Structure formats: C-alpha cells, structure tokens
Amino acid sequence: MPKQTGALWFAGLAALGGVAAPGLRAQYAAPPTTYSVTQINGMFGTPVTMQIYRDGSRAVYDHIEQNGTHTRSIYDLQAHTNYSWDMANPQNGCSAGTYSGDWGDPFNASDVTNLTKTGAKQLGNETVNGFSAKVIEAVDPKSNIKVKVWLETKYGMVVKADMTPPGGGATTTIVETKHFSLAKPSPSLFVLPEPCAKAGPPVHVPTPVERVASETGGSAADFVDAYAGPGSPNSCTMLLRFVAAGSMKPLSNFQVALDLNVDFDHPASYVMGGSPSGRTVFSGGHLKEYTAQVQNGVLRVDNVPDHFEMEITFNGGNSGASSALLYRHCAGPQTAMLFVVKNPDKPSDGADWVWVKSGKFATVAGH
C-alpha cells in the first residue's frame, strides 16, 4: 500500500510557527469588519486573483483564475455556512455547506503571520503598493526556506509575502495585496443566485471535534482537530489512545508506525507491505513501528514534533488502514490525543484524530 505525502514546498510556513512573538497582535488595531480587499495568491503556482468583501457577519470571496474561471462564495460568519457557484453559469446551481475555522479573512492569514514571532528579523519599514509596511524576514531552520513578509502597519494585514528556497532558487511572491478599502461593499454582492436561494440552507456537516464530542459524550470545546496546522510552538509528551467510538474501549489487532521527521521538501513514499507472518512491514521516509510501545492502550511519545506522519493497519492490513499527517496541539507538558474509530469491525467507515485540551479525557489517569 504505497502512500505519497502530498505537501507543497511552501509548507515551510507552518514549520516557522514556532517563532511567534506573544502579544504581537496587540500591537495592531482591531481588524475592520467592513472592507474590500484584492489580493494575488501565488501559493499554488499560477497566480490567482482573490477579491474579498465583508459587511459585518457576511462575507464574499471571489476566486478568479487567469483562464477567466470565476468562482464566488458567500459566507455567513455567524451561522458558519457558505454557498459557492460558477459566476459564468449560475443557472447550474451551487454547492452549499458548513465550515469551521478561517474562511479566508485577509486579516487572519495565519500561515504567513506565524512568521511574525520571536526570532524573526525586523528589517524596518517600506512602502509597497501604496501601503506603509513593516518588513520581517525569517528562515525555517529545518528547510532553510527564507520568507520575507510586509505587514501593513495599522491592522497587520499581509501586504506582500515572498519565499526563497534554499540554494539560491528563484524567489516566489505567494501573497500580494493590491487594493484595500474600508468603504461598505455593494449589497448586490451578497445576493444569492436563484438556484442557490431555492436550495434552502445547507445541511450541517459535523467537524471532527463535533463528531468526537458526540461519540464520547464530551464537549466540542474539549478537542482540537489534529489535522489542523500549524503545530503549537510549545512541545509536549503525546499520550495517544486508540479507542472505539461510543464505548471508548481500547482497539486491538492493529499496528502503528510514526515518521517523526517529515521533510516537506522531500516527500517520502510510505509502504505498508505484507509478510509471511501476516503482520504489516512499514517502510519509507523515517517511518518506524511503535506497536510494541503501546502500554495499557496508550502510546507515549516524548517531545513530539510540530508535525508527524501516522500510519495504522488493522489485522495486517486485511481489515483496513489509516494514514494521516498530524500537527501537535499541546495543552500542557503531557497532552492526550485520541484516535477514535467509528466501527472497529470496519475501520473504513471512518476515524478521527483529536487532541484533548480539557474535559474528562484530558488525562490518562482519569480514563
């Protein structure tokens, strides 16, 4: 079962999350809730134009590609719902759903602003695209990717961000703000096309933390999605439990391997192969089996890195497998994480990875 870790080289942004200055956000004014912003996003290769409009609890996000494809999304920031459709063919209807976390707020560009942390160099101020901006530069100690960021001086909005790969490679502009206005956007921007309006409100899709809260009888506020990066700047000992949803009984007949040295610049190809013994043999990258270290249903990993790969097989791979690139979210010196399998007899039905920051599952002693 080969598996390729799909991580873009600019994922070094997440690795730089450990350099942030506590309280830096407090240096800026509270971000506005009524505005229009135009940015060019080059993170994924070919630059695309993003036009963001917000009026209180409503926001519009336009995604315009160089080939002319124009997709619009409308967000209800209180209900956490969104609708998206092709502007050239609104008669084709739209997709509707729910979301959690960041919706694309230009004043909350966490992947970039995580660079503005202790250890980054402040190079002074410059004027870029008409904005007065503070200039900050940082180098990821793991990948040696250099990132230079220009932050607008009043609200801390990213005006421009450049990335340079190690070895003198070409610098890429990954984000650039071209226009910013505090004027109230036109009400017509927030009107749904008729097919979307007729479809009614979207069905809420539970998030991983909501699913785990329901399955464990806890509260969603107690959990953090382990898929969500970047990892917390503070390290900790991970206490990982492998459990069945509902009963929270420990799983059996599984094997687990970890790669604690994931290299985003050189993605590994992981292989979970069979063997005459019927057990899985793990290989690729720095993958190492930890099954023998699971004691009383708990795997202890000291000083877990900010991101790592987890591979699990059931019944030698014959009953399914689970793979995930996870990020640490330390709530204390020792932090519990749960791998919650919906149906242990059929792991393919789904599973969730969550860190426990509070509540009855926060300590192994309390389980």
pLDDT, tens digit (0-9, with 9 covering 90-100), for 166-218: 877 889 898 999 999 999 999 999 999 988 887 777 776 777 888 888 888 88
* Cis peptide preceding 185, ω within 30 of 0: no
E strand or H helix that includes residue 321: strand 321-327
Sign of the torsion formed by the C-alpha atoms of 244, 247, 253 and 259: positive
- Cβ-based neighbour number of residue 229 at 10 Å: 22
- Inform me whether the pLDDT recorded for 13 exceeds 50: no
Asked if 151 and 131 touch (Cβ cutoff 8 Å), the reply is no
- Inform me whether the pLDDT recorded for 321 exceeds 50: yes
Q: Torsion over CA of 198, 201, 204 and 205, rounded to 10 degrees?
A: 30
* pLDDT confidence band for 364 (50 / 70 / 90): low
Of residues 252, 270, 248, the one with CA closest to residue 261:
270
CA count, 13 A, side-chain hemisphere, 10: 19
For residue 191, the model assigns a pLDDT of 92
* pLDDT confidence band for 7 (50 / 70 / 90): very low
Tell me the CATH class for 2-199. mainly beta
Place of tokens 């270290």: 293
For residue 8, the model assigns a pLDDT of 32
Mind listing the pLDDT tens digit for each residue in 104-125? 888 876 555 555 454 578 888 9
Asked if 334 and 356 touch (Cβ cutoff 8 Å), the reply is no
Candidate from 16-30, 64-78, 338-352 with smallest mean pLDDT: 16-30
* pLDDT confidence band for 357 (50 / 70 / 90): very high
The three-state secondary structure class of 294 is strand
For residue 98, the model assigns a pLDDT of 79
For residue 109, the model assigns a pLDDT of 63
* pLDDT confidence band for 160 (50 / 70 / 90): very high
Tell me the CATH class for 208-366. mainly beta
- Cβ-based neighbour number of residue 10 at 10 Å: 20
For residue 29, the model assigns a pLDDT of 81
* pLDDT confidence band for 27 (50 / 70 / 90): low
| Mean pLDDT, residues 300-317 taken together | 92
Of residues 255, 287, 256, the one with CA closest to residue 271:
287
For residue 111, the model assigns a pLDDT of 54
For residue 142, the model assigns a pLDDT of 64
- Inform me whether the pLDDT recorded for 356 exceeds 90: yes
Radius of gyration of the chain (CA): 23
Mind listing the pLDDT tens digit for each residue in 61-109? 999 998 999 999 999 888 888 899 999 988 888 888 877 667 888 887 6
Mind listing the pLDDT tens digit for each residue in 221-275? 899 999 888 889 999 999 999 999 888 899 988 999 999 998 876 777 888 888 8
Q: Sort 357 into a burial class: Cβ within 10 Å, 0-12 / 13-18 / 19+.
A: middle
* pLDDT confidence band for 141 (50 / 70 / 90): low
Distance CA 176, CA 180 (A): 11
Distance CA 314, CA 325 (A): 18
Distance CA 282, CA 271 (A): 6
Where is pLDDT greater, at 204 or 336?
A: 336
| Mean pLDDT, residues 39-49 taken together | 87
* pLDDT confidence band for 344 (50 / 70 / 90): confident
**Start and end residues for every CATH 2.50.20.10 domain found in the chain:** 2-199
* pLDDT confidence band for 14 (50 / 70 / 90): very low
For residue 22, the model assigns a pLDDT of 30
Distance CA 13, CA 169 (A): 17
Residue 257 corresponds to which tokens in the numbers above? 């391997």
* pLDDT confidence band for 15 (50 / 70 / 90): very low
**Start and end residues for every CATH 2.60.40 domain found in the chain:** 208-366
For residue 2, the model assigns a pLDDT of 34
Q: 323-326: long-range contacts at Cβ-Cβ below 8 A with a sequence spacing of 24 or more? A: 323/3, 323/270, 324/226, 324/227, 324/353, 325/5, 325/7, 325/227, 325/262, 326/226, 326/227, 326/353
For residue 39, the model assigns a pLDDT of 95
